[in-house]
Amino acid sequence: MNMPKLDLGEIQGDVLTGMQKDAELFLFFKIADANRFKNLTSDLVIGRVVAARRVRERERIVLQRPSSAAREPWLGLNLGFTMDGMTRLLGPRRPAMDPAFERGAAHPETIALLNDPPVTTWLADYRSDRIDGVFLITGPDPSFVTHHGNLLRQLLEPAISVVTAELGTVRPGRYRGREHFGFVDGISTPGIRGLTRVSRPGIAPDEGLPGQDLVWPGEFVLGYPGQNPKDPNKAGPTQPLPAPWAKNGSYMVFRRLEQRVPEFRRFVATEAARLGMYPDLLAARMLGRWRSGAPLELAPLDDNTLLAANDKRNNDFGYAGDPFQRACPYAAHIRKANPRDDPAEGKAGTLTHRIIRAGIAFGPEVAPGETQTMHPRGLMFVCYQASIGRQFEFIQSGYADNPDFVGGKRRPDNHRPVVPGFDPIIGQAKGNGARSMDEPAPNYPAGNRRTVLDMPDEFVIVTASGYFFMPSITGLRTLLS
Ligand code: N7H
């Protein structure tokens, strides 16, 4: 099949590459007057929505500037709608879209499927009767995005009313690029066929950077061929569009995830002492990478910061060569969230469950003496995909929350079956129940010491969630006409 050519001038900018963001304002709104909203947004806002092409041009400039240079005052603006918002725009007889999107993040079935905490425990602001849409406003600092958020409100209110606004910011100074538990984030992201540069065309034509699988674009953007679930390199079908305006659109999952950082640190220190290992190694066994970003598969017992910093090496691994979780536990966050070549059916299946992550941290640094979380902080998790059910929801419920995944593993000594346990970072048990993971202490390169990590409490708490559709630029024009 010919390589699909992506309409980069059409696809919203956050979807494929992530807009440049040192700060991001999420403006969740309700449409109060649909006609006025349509007129105002068509006339004054769509022209400012940043598409993928612009984001990529900016990225080229970022790569050329010295890392110490001041951030450019670039505004990023994207816009998405919930199923309620789509109904406000198109009326109740609009075409049905992705089934999970139509169910919505707050639906009892979604809550049950993901083992999410009940909506009554979510942050009060999100428990509005309705959220119709979200503006993503990105820029170099909080005052910039807040200013542009205020301008947008002046343009659109009272045709919209803002339900809640949230600010995400990258962490300061040397913590830049790290999430609040201290791990470098944003290392592993799927490559996209027809877009991502192949770094070694002669040797590895199906990879971007070494270890970065190329995925067919229909997994993330509607109207293109997706993955073939039987062959990692072949295209699968192009899913039918609900309507022509859906072409070049994508579904976004938003989750406001609070992280209990002092509690996580204390737990890791106490349990590491119990298990007789040093805390950084236990934290790495829970995540699958060291805080530096070095993967356990390549650095099983000691951190390796040179490896971590080398993007030609830091993602170049699989799990098939580690069948007994000696280097990396089956339940480690990255082994669960992207099992690569581990499942018995091989890599082709895994590639149908990939997502593009584009979140940002929020909240202050841990204050001196803050031994129990006093100030909310965490991750505004954002991911993009073509099917929320097959991608985000599958990762959460089929992998992270499923103690039996990855299946079919046996102990090396007695061949008994292994229950890998929960993803210690994002896994959730029913009713907020206790979780455990297998083999926190490494048996590397050999050994058969059996250990279990019991986790009575979660370190990541869902405090709000939403499913959005991010139309193309032409899609926006059609929906708002
Ligand atoms: Fe995760 N963390 O810092 O602990 N994640 N994540 N995630 N995550 C990854 O490889 C983290 C969350 C994925 O391809 C890294 O880029 C935290 C959700 C996937 O090998 C780190 C939270 C979901 C990958 C974290 C959180 C995922 C991944 C390693 C919540 C989906 C790529 C850096 C507060 C349901 C795996 C990297 C691969 C990597 C962390 C949430 C999915 C450090 C703190 C909700 C697919």
Q: Whose C-alpha lies nearest to ligand 1, atom 20?
A: 334
pLDDT at residue number 69:
77
Q: Whose C-alpha lies nearest to ligand 1, atom 29?
A: 185
pLDDT at residue number 392:
99
CA distance 225 to 311: 28
**Ligand 1 geometric centre to CA of 222 (Å):** 24
Please tell me the pTM assigned to this model: 0.98
Residues counted in the chain: 481
pLDDT at residue number 374:
97
CA atoms within 13 A on the CB side of 363: 20
185 is catalytic: yes
For ligand 1, mutation pick of 313, 333, 393 (most atoms within 8 Å of CB)? 333
Question: Other C-beta atoms within 10 Å of 461: how many?
Answer: 18
pLDDT at residue number 1:
62
CA distance 264 to 450: 23
CA distance 214 to 192: 5
The structure tokens 């737990």 sit at 267
pLDDT at residue number 124:
94
Question: Other C-beta atoms within 10 Å of 37: how many?
Answer: 24
pLDDT at residue number 130:
93
**Ligand 1 geometric centre to CA of 73 (Å):** 28
Question: Other C-beta atoms within 10 Å of 71: how many?
Answer: 15
pLDDT at residue number 344:
83
Asked if residues 247 and 472 have their Cβ atoms less than 8 Å apart, the reply is yes
Give pLDDT < 50 ranges for the chain. none
First-residue to last-residue Cα distance in the chain: 36
Q: Whose C-alpha lies nearest to ligand 1, atom 39?
A: 334
CA distance 463 to 36: 32
Question: Other C-beta atoms within 10 Å of 357: how many?
Answer: 19
pLDDT at residue number 128:
81
- Of 14, 22, 116, 185, the catalytic one is 185
Beta bridge partners of 27: 135, 165
Asked if residues 267 and 459 have their Cβ atoms less than 8 Å apart, the reply is yes
**Ligand 1 geometric centre to CA of 158 (Å):** 38
Asked if residues 208 and 198 have their Cβ atoms less than 8 Å apart, the reply is yes
Question: Other C-beta atoms within 10 Å of 358: how many?
Answer: 25
Tokens at residue 460, please? 């990541």
